[in-house]
Amino acid sequence: MKAIGKTGIVTITIGVAVLLLGGTCVATYNKLVRLDQAASAQWAQVENAYQRRADLVPNLVETVKGAAAFERGTITAVTEARSRVGQVTVSKDVTTDPKGFLEYQQAQDQLGGALSRLLVVAEAYPELKSTQNFRDLQAQLEGTENRITVERMRYNEAARDFDTARASFPTSIVAGIFGGRFAPKQYFAAKAGSDVPPAVRF
């Protein structure tokens, strides 16, 4: 058996290095794909929760309209906010589009605020609060709002995991090679003023 010369050793060393580097790149790419898919799946859950809320609005508005003297301005605000949510065009890559993501969040936050005001105003109408239909819708809406909060939090966690991996070395090199395929994710921010505790008056 012939001894391996210097050229053979160099060739084997280069071959092993290329295999290791290629294997690392493939594993890193697959990790980014897995984290990206997890964030996308969680985003779908956020959209489902928001859709559930939007689906409840027409029934809630119709039920509230039945209260004789109920403030029309409140109903109009809810209807318009729901309409704005429907007008927001959500692109496939909204989670990596800062402007589109912000527009989507603002429209959803406006609808949430309008619904909160509607429920607060409804407290002044005992005959409305006493109807079974209104109580059922209110319970469903409260459950949906809780689900939205949970799904937004889970999405933010999945986006954070993706962005952390994407920014870590050597993953950042692989992410850079594929450019827009692995763009940073956007996050849901707290509503403006949510850091200020409500005033309590006795």
The pTM is what?
0.83
Structure tokens at 18: 């290329």
pLDDT score for 8:
74
Length of the chain: 202
pLDDT score for 162:
97
Which 8-state DSSP code applies to residue 131?
A: S
Structure tokens at 168: 């870590």
| Closest to 134 measured CA to CA, from 123, 144, 150, 145 | 123
**CATH value of 6-182 in 1.10.357.10, 1.10.579.10, 1.20.1440.20, 3.40.50.10490:** 1.20.1440.20
Report whether 63 contacts 133 (CB < 8 A): yes
Q: pLDDT of the chain along its 202 residues, tens only? A: 455 777 877 787 787 777 777 778 889 999 999 999 999 999 999 999 999 999 999 999 888 887 756 778 888 899 999 999 999 988 888 999 999 999 999 999 999 999 999 988 888 888 888 888 888 999 999 999 999 999 999 999 999 999 999 999 989 998 988 877 899 999 998 865 554 444 433 2
Alpha-carbon torsion angle 112, 114, 117, 123, nearest 10: -90
pLDDT score for 197:
43
pLDDT score for 202:
28
Residue with tokens 């039920």: 63
Report whether 146 contacts 173 (CB < 8 A): no
Domain boundaries, the chain: 6-182
pLDDT score for 153:
97
